[in-house]
Amino acid sequence: MARTTYDELLDAGVHFGHLTRKWDPKMSQYIFMERNGIHIIDLNKTLTKVEEAAAAIKQIVKSGRKVLFVATKKQAKDIVAEYAKGVNMPFITERWLGGMLTNFATVRKSIKKMSNIDKLTKDGTYSNLSKKERLMIQRERIKLETLLGGIADLNRLPAALFLIDVKKEHIAVSEALKLNIPTFAMVDTNSDPSNIDFPIPANDDATKSISLITGIIIKAIEEGLDERKREKEDEAEKEAAAAKAKADAPEAITPDRSANEGGKRSRKSAVSAEVEASSVAEAAAETGTEPAENE
């Protein structure tokens, strides 16, 4: 079943591109026509590309990895933050700090600093500080929360990036390229799609268009999370059944064990026969008679 329809894309204004004088020639393959000085995006291409992107992002999430959402333009930040929180995915909606991926260790230190401030508040140390110190710490906490609050739970580099407006988020795209992190993005007619692994040609300025495309990606993520949960439950059930069967089964002698026991008995009989023969020989030597041969 298709994740969206041609009519839904049309109603959301996904087909509206930028002015023809602002276009990027590399987007020509996704442009359907020009009308009143504005490029119109081919929605058939959009349908195909959004399906490919959703299927790929579903597999990434199904493997247990995270997708980082990046949208710092005012039309998209609230929409993306709400959607990302709903599926417990990291997001950046205020400002992309240079080196957020390539210098991730330093970013983690800033996140740790934010958690340390929270600990000060909880253990009572914060109340013992002077008013000026508390005010400074509070301001720093607010600043860190604004910039890094969306990635506070991100302990390692994300497996993929989903971006709104690749022209605005060009630093994030370049860092992802350096680290070979797959990128998914809404690409308008004024952007370069060549550096994006899964470009989705769409209007990245209208809130309806952003909401529709991001919603499709979020649904794919939800599907991936659900499938991962079901697989874990099935594995747990199989392990429990196997453990129960092992506990209920009587202890059986395996063929290897039977062969070993048979070998031990035969060796024991041979040793006994040798001992008996040596005893008879010793007795005969003492009496000066020869032992009788077995008939």
State the average pLDDT for the chain. 85
Flag the least confident range among 26-30, 113-117, 147-151, 262-266: 262-266
Chain centroid to Cα 58, Å, comes to 10
Return the pLDDT at 120.
81
Tell me the mean pLDDT in the region 216-226.
Answer: 94
Model confidence at 229: pLDDT above 70: yes
Model confidence at 276: pLDDT above 60: no
DSSP track, 104-151: HHHHHHHHHHHHHHHHHHHHTTGGGS-HHHHHHHHHHHHHHHHHHGGG
Flag the least confident range among 114-123, 135-144, 182-191: 114-123
Tell me the mean pLDDT in the region 244-254.
Answer: 69
Return the pLDDT at 116.
85
Model confidence at 293: pLDDT above 70: no
Q: How far apart are CA 12 and CA 52, in angstroms?
A: 20
CB 184 within 8 A of CB 53: yes
Model confidence at 292: pLDDT above 80: no
Model confidence at 257: pLDDT above 80: no
Tell me the mean pLDDT in the region 71-88.
Answer: 93
Q: How far apart are CA 41 and CA 126, in angstroms?
A: 55
Q: How far apart are CA 146 and CA 235, in angstroms?
A: 40
Pairwise pLDDT comparison (117 vs 271), residue with the higher score: 117
CB 160 within 8 A of CB 100: no
Q: Which residues are bridge partners to 160 per DSSP?
A: 67
Q: How far apart are CA 271 and CA 277, in angstroms?
A: 10
3-state secondary structure of 200: strand
Pairwise pLDDT comparison (78 vs 260), residue with the higher score: 78
Pairwise pLDDT comparison (61 vs 243), residue with the higher score: 61
Tell me the mean pLDDT in the region 248-262.
Answer: 56
Return the pLDDT at 125.
77
Flag the least confident range among 32-46, 54-68, 78-92, 115-129: 115-129
Tell me the mean pLDDT in the region 173-191.
Answer: 95
